Chain A
Amino acid sequence: MTATRGRAFVFGDDVDTDALAPGAWIKFGVEEIARHCLEALDPSFAARVRPGDVVVAGRNFGAGSSREQAAAALRHLGVAAVVARSFAGIFHRNAINLGLPVLECERADAVRAGDALAVDIAGACVELPERGLVLACTPVPDHLKAILDAGGLLPWLERRIAAQRNPNPP
C-alpha cells in the first residue's frame, strides 16, 4: 500500500452516514449521492474536494446506518483516505470492503483544514510535511490490508474464486 498525498478536509466528531450519503438520494446511483456527500456539514465539499485529498475527522466517523454508499461516495469523489480519531464499526468495515483506506489516529485533531498531508497505510502514520509533524496511527491488521491491497472485497473475492476454479495456474 503506497502513501497518498493530498489536502486535508477537516470535520468534527460523530460525522454520520446521513451526512455522508443523504437518504433522499439513496435510491440513485453513487454519482448522484456523491454530489450531496457531506453537504449538511460543508455545502461546498463535493465541489471542492480533489482526487488524492484526505478527510480528517474526530471520534466515531461514519456513525449510524450500514449504507455503504457513505464510503462509496467518498471514494467516488477521489478521497484517498479517511483519518479519524475513531470510526463507527460498520463504516470501518464498509470502507475497507470498498477499498477506501481508513486510519485511526489519536492525534487527528492536530490536522488543520487545507494542510498538505501524506498518508502511509503500511507504515501506519500521517505526515504533515509543511508543519514538520508525523502522527502515529493504529496499524491496519494484515487481513484487512490484504482486502485493501486487492482494491476491496469484491476483487478480493474474485481472486479467491479464480484461485479455487484454477488451483494450479501454469
Chain B
Amino acid sequence: MIVPTPHPDRTVSPASPQTLAQKLVARAAGRGRVTPGEIVTCRVDLAMMHDSGGPRRVGPMLERLGAKPWDPSRVVVVTDHYVPVHDEESRRIVAVARDFAAQHSVRALHDGIGICHVVLPEQGHLRPGMFVVGGDSHSPTGGAFGCYAFGVGATEMLGVLVTGEIWLKVPHTVRIRWDGRFGPGVSAKDAMLRLCGALGMDGGGYHAVEYCGEAVEALSMRERMTMANMTAELGGQAGLFAPDATTRAWLGEAGVHEVDVETWRSDPSAAVLAEHRFDASSLAPQVAAPHSPANAAPVDVHAGTPLTAAYLGACTGAKLDDLRMAASILRGRRCAEGLRLMVAPASRRDETIAREEGTLGALLEAGAELLPTACGACAGYGAHRFGDDDVVIASTARNFRGRMGAPGSRVYLASPYTVAASAVAGTIADPREFL
C-alpha cells in the first residue's frame, strides 16, 4: 500500500473564514488563504490515470518531451476501461498501461481489480486534505474523503506529470443541504438525479459543490462517493464532504490512520456563492429519461415503461452498498421474462464481500448475469453495448445518446433499488412497492 503524505510545508491560516474548498486549494497552493476567482498554481499530491485516457495518450507526449513523472510515488495507474481485453486494440491499450508503470517505476499499478474511483480509496491512496488530479471526469468521487479531487484530459495530465503542478481558478462554493433523512428505498443516487433535474447539468458552474445536512451526515462512505461522483453530472469541478467519524472508520479499514477530521471543514461564516436546501424525507425515487441526467423526475412519471435490460454497474452504481440495495429487492424474486439483468461490480473487493455475505447470490438467483469487474457497458468501450431496440434502466451516472451502445438505444438512469425493482417488473417500477 502506498500512502503519499500531503506536502508537509503547508499550513492553513485560521485567521479569516474560508470554505472547505478554499482551505484545500490554499494548502495545495502553499498559501495562507485564497480568494475565489484568482488563478493559483497548486502542487499535486496524487495523479491518477486509467488505461483509456492515461499512459497510451500521455506516454508518447512524455517521450517527445524527454521527460519523466515528477514523482512516481504520487502516480497511480488503474486498468478498468478496457479490461477484460476483448480484441486487438484493447489488448494493446492495457499492455501500454502496464509497460508505462514498469518503465516509470510507478509501483501503484492496480490491474483489473476495479474501477479507478473506487480503487483509489480502497487501496489507501486518499486521505482528507489531499489535492488529487485524475484523468477521468468522475474524479470528484475523491471529494467524499475530503480531498480536492477533479478530472482532467490527457494533455493536462502530461503537464501534471512533468511539473507536479496545475493551475486552478479558485472555485466558489455551491452548498447543497439535505435536511431530514432519506426514506426507505431512496438513496444518494436519487438525491443526485434530483439535483441534476433541479439545477441542470451546469448547475455546479465548475465551482466546488459542498454537500451537507442531516441526511448527508448519515450516509455511508460509499453513498457519499456516489454523490461526489455525480458532481460531474452537475458540472461542478469538485464535490466535497467534510470528513467525520464515518470517514475515519472507513479509511481505518483501508489502512489509512491519523485522519484529520478537524481542519477540513468550512468555517461557519465562510461566504458561499449559493446554498440550495432540499428535504430528504419527501424525496421520491428518481428516474432520468434519455438522454440526459437532467431529465430527472419522480419514478411514477415513467412507471410502466417497458424495458429490455437492466444494468447494475459503474463507479456510480455497483459498489457494495449498491449491490446490497439491489439484493434487498431481488432476494427471493425473479427478473421478468425476457429482460436481461446485468451486474458488473465496481471492485473485486466489493464483489468478494458481496459473494461471501450472500448479496451476490441473491442477485444471481434472481437471474442476474455477472459481468467482469470493470467499467463494462457504462462507457460503451467494451464488448457489451446495447442495440438500437434496447430500452435500459441503469445505475450508471450518465445516459447521453449512444454512450452505452447504438444511437437508438434508450437509457433511463435510476438508483440500484429502482433498477432492481424494474428488473422484476419488466417495466420501470417504484422500489418502495417491493420493500
A interface, CB within 8 angstroms of B: 14, 16-19, 22-24, 26-28, 40, 59-60, 63-68, 71, 86, 88-90, 92-94, 97-98, 141, 143, 152-154, 157-158, 161
Contacts and interface: CB of A to CB of B under 8 A. Distances in A.
B151 interface: yes
B39 A141 contact: yes
Nearest to B292: A14
Most-contacted residue by chain B among A18, A23, A60, A143 (CB, 10 A): A23
A71 B154 CA distance: 11
Interface in B102-147: 135-137, 139
B73 interface: no
Contacts of A19: 400-402
Contacts of B232: 64
B158 A66 contact: no
B53 A67 contact: yes
Contact of B403 (A18, A86, A98, A161): A18
Nearest to B380: A23
Contact of B137 (A65, A86, A92, A161): A65
Given A26-B381, A88-B202, A89-B235, 14 more contacts: A18-B400, A18-B401, A22-B380, A40-B402, A59-B202, A64-B400, A68-B57, A68-B154, A89-B206, A89-B237, A92-B206, A93-B152, A143-B39, A161-B65
Contacts of A90: 137, 151-153
B82 interface: yes
Closest 5 CB pairs of A and B: A68-B153, A89-B206, A23-B380, A94-B153, A60-B202
A23 B154 CA distance: 16
B156 A93 contact: yes
Given A18-B402, A60-B201, A157 B151 contact: no
Nearest to A94: B153
B407 interface: yes
A18 B396 CA distance: 15
Interface of B: 39, 52-53, 57, 61, 64-67, 82, 89-90, 93, 135-137, 139, 151-156, 158-159, 162-163, 167, 200-202, 206, 232, 235, 237, 292, 294, 379-381, 385, 398, 400-403, 407
A66 B167 contact: no
B405 to A, nearest CB: 8
A69 to B, nearest CB: 9
A88 B235 contact: yes
Given A18-B401, A19-B401, A154-B61, A67 B153 contact: yes
B157 to A, nearest CB: 9
Contact of A154 (B39, B93, B158, B200): B158
A27 B90 contact: yes
Given A23-B403, A27-B90, A65-B137, A94 B155 contact: yes
Contact of A14 (B65, B67, B201): B201
B204 to A, nearest CB: 9
A143 B41 CA distance: 11
Nearest to A162: B65
A143 to B, nearest CB: 6
A97 B137 contact: no
Contacts of B380: 18, 22-24
Contacts of A23: 379-381, 402-403
Nearest to A87: B206
Contacts of B154: 68
B153 A16 contact: no
Contact of B82 (A27, A28, A68, A158): A27
Contacts of B162: 157, 161
Contacts of A66: 53, 135-137, 139, 151-153
A68 B163 CA distance: 20
Nearest to B89: A27
Contact of B401 (A40, A67, A68, A143): A40
A24 B155 contact: no
Contacts of A98: 155
A89 B156 CA distance: 13
12 contacts: A16-B401, A19-B402, A23-B403, A26-B379, A86-B202, A88-B202, A89-B206, A143-B39, A154-B64, A154-B65, A157-B65, A161-B162
